[in-house]
A and B are shown apart, each in its own frame.
Chain A
Amino acid sequence: MLNYIIRRLVMLIPVLIGVSIIAFSLMHLIPGDPARSMLGEKATEDQLELLREELGLNDPLAVQYGRYVGKVIKGDLGESVKSGVPIAEELASRLPATFELSIFAMGVAIVIGVLAGVIAAVKQYSWFDNISMTGALFGVSMPIFWLGLMLIWVFAVILGWLPPSGRLSLDVELETITNMYLLDSLLTGNWEAFADAFKHLLMPGLALGTIPMAIIARMTRSSMLEVMRQDYIRTAKAKGLAKFLVIFQHALKNAFLPVLTVIGLQFGYLLGGAVLTETIFSWPGVGRYVYLSILGRDYPVVQSTILVVATIFVIVNLITDILYKYIDPRISYD
Chain B
Amino acid sequence: MSAEVNTSGNPKVDTKKAKSSSLWLDSMSRLLKSKTSVIGLLIILTLIFTAIFAPYVATHDPTEQDIFNRYAAPSSDHWLGTDELGRDIYSRIVYGSRISIQIGVIAVGISMVIGVLLGIVAGYFGRWIDNIIMRFIDILMAFPSILLAIALVAVLGPSLTNAMIAVGIVGVPHFARIVRSTVLSIKETEYIEAARASGVRNGEILFRHILPNSMAPIIVQATLSIGTAILDAAGLSFLGLGAQPPKPEWGAMLSDGQAALQTAPWVIMFPGLAILIVVLGFNLFGDGLRDALDPRLKQ
A: residues with CB less than 8 A from B are 14-15, 18-19, 21-22, 26-27, 29-31, 137-138, 140-147, 149-150, 152-153, 157, 221-222, 225-226, 268-269, 271-273, 275-276, 279, 290-291, 294-295, 299, 302-303, 306, 309-310, 313-314
B143 contacts A138, CB within 8 Å? no
**Complex Cα gap A137–B241 (Å):** 27
Interfacial chain A residues near B136, Cβ < 8 Å: 18
B150 contacts A294, CB within 8 Å? yes
Closest to B241 in A: A294
**Complex Cα gap A324–B279 (Å):** 33
B144 contacts A290, CB within 8 Å? no
| Number of B residues, CB within 8 Å of A | 46
With A150-B269, A272-B146, A302-B155 known to touch, is A157 a contact of B279 (CB < 8 Å)?
no
Main secondary structure of the interface of A (DSSP, over half): helix
The winner among A27, A140, A144, A271 for most chain B CB atoms within 10 A is A140
B144 contacts A268, CB within 8 Å? yes
With A137-B284, A141-B279 known to touch, is A276 a contact of B299 (CB < 8 Å)?
no
A314 contacts B142, CB within 8 Å? yes
What is the CB-to-nearest-CB distance from B178 to chain A, in angstroms, rounded to a whole number? 15
With A152-B261, A221-B299, A275-B239 known to touch, is A142 a contact of B276 (CB < 8 Å)?
yes
What is the CB-to-nearest-CB distance from A245 to chain B, in angstroms, rounded to a whole number? 24
Interfacial chain B residues near A22, Cβ < 8 Å: 139-140, 143
**Complex Cα gap A275–B151 (Å):** 11
**Complex Cα gap A141–B299 (Å):** 20
With A18-B139, A275-B239, A313-B144 known to touch, is A153 a contact of B265 (CB < 8 Å)?
yes
5 contacts between A and B (CB under 8 A): A141-B227, A141-B276, A142-B276, A290-B151, A302-B151
B150 contacts A275, CB within 8 Å? yes
Contact pick for B139, options A19, A31, A221, A295, CB 8 Å: A19
Contact pick for A302, options B138, B154, B261, CB 8 Å: B154
B268 adjacent to chain A (CB < 8 Å) = yes
Q: Give me the 8 closest cross-chain CB pairs, A-B, nearest first.
A: A146-B272, A272-B144, A18-B139, A272-B147, A272-B146, A141-B279, A141-B280, A268-B144
Residues of chain B in range 144-169 having any CB-CB distance to chain A below 8 Å: 144-148, 150-152, 154-157
B155 contacts A279, CB within 8 Å? no
B: residues with CB less than 8 A from A are 36, 135-136, 138-140, 142-148, 150-152, 154-157, 227, 231, 234-235, 238-241, 251, 254, 258, 261-262, 265, 268-269, 271-272, 275-276, 279-280, 283-284, 287, 299
Closest to B146 in A: A272
Interfacial chain A residues near B150, Cβ < 8 Å: 272, 275, 290, 294
What is the CB-to-nearest-CB distance from B256 to chain A, in angstroms, rounded to a whole number? 12
B157 contacts A31, CB within 8 Å? yes
With A143-B231, A150-B269, A276-B235 known to touch, is A310 a contact of B154 (CB < 8 Å)?
no
**Complex Cα gap A302–B239 (Å):** 15
B155 contacts A141, CB within 8 Å? no
What is the CB-to-nearest-CB distance from B270 to chain A, in angstroms, rounded to a whole number? 10
A273 contacts B265, CB within 8 Å? no
A29 contacts B275, CB within 8 Å? no
Interfacial chain A residues near B238, Cβ < 8 Å: 143, 145, 276
**Complex Cα gap A176–B126 (Å):** 54
What is the CB-to-nearest-CB distance from A184 to chain B, in angstroms, rounded to a whole number? 27
Interfacial chain A residues near B36, Cβ < 8 Å: 137
What is the CB-to-nearest-CB distance from A2 to chain B, in angstroms, rounded to a whole number? 23
B276 contacts A310, CB within 8 Å? no
What is the CB-to-nearest-CB distance from B164 to chain A, in angstroms, rounded to a whole number? 16
Interfacial chain B residues near A26, Cβ < 8 Å: 151-152, 155
Closest to A271 in B: B144
B143 contacts A30, CB within 8 Å? no
